[in-house]
Amino acid sequence: MLFAIYATDKPGALETRMAARQAHLDYVKAGFNDKILTAGPRLSDDGEKMIGSLIVIDLPDRGAVDDFCKNDPYAIAGVFERVEVTGFKAVFPMND
């Protein structure tokens, strides 16, 4: 099942985010690279500052997503103020 993970950084967490960034990328690449449809940092309106993360991931259930989120180095480092997870249905590109 597809899930959207929408994370918002704590105010002033950019330095913490950058310090944990390589560990986060390694975590994703090592165990989830083939499960992620798209992912990347959310940006401020001017495009200058990372303010969170957006990940669309294909995992079997919500428990697996919660485990993914809990073990993400960004979460462990305390980057996020909040993380929202919802089911997701990919519509584009259309496959019909």
CATH number at residue 47: 3.30.70.1060
Residue 92 belongs to some domain of the structure: no
Per-residue pLDDT, 84: 98
Residues of the chain short of pLDDT 70, as ranges, are 94-96
Specify the number of domains making up the chain: 1
Determine the Cα–Cα distance for residues 14 and 67; give it in Å rounded to an integer. Answer: 24
Per-residue pLDDT, 96: 57
Per-residue pLDDT, 95: 62
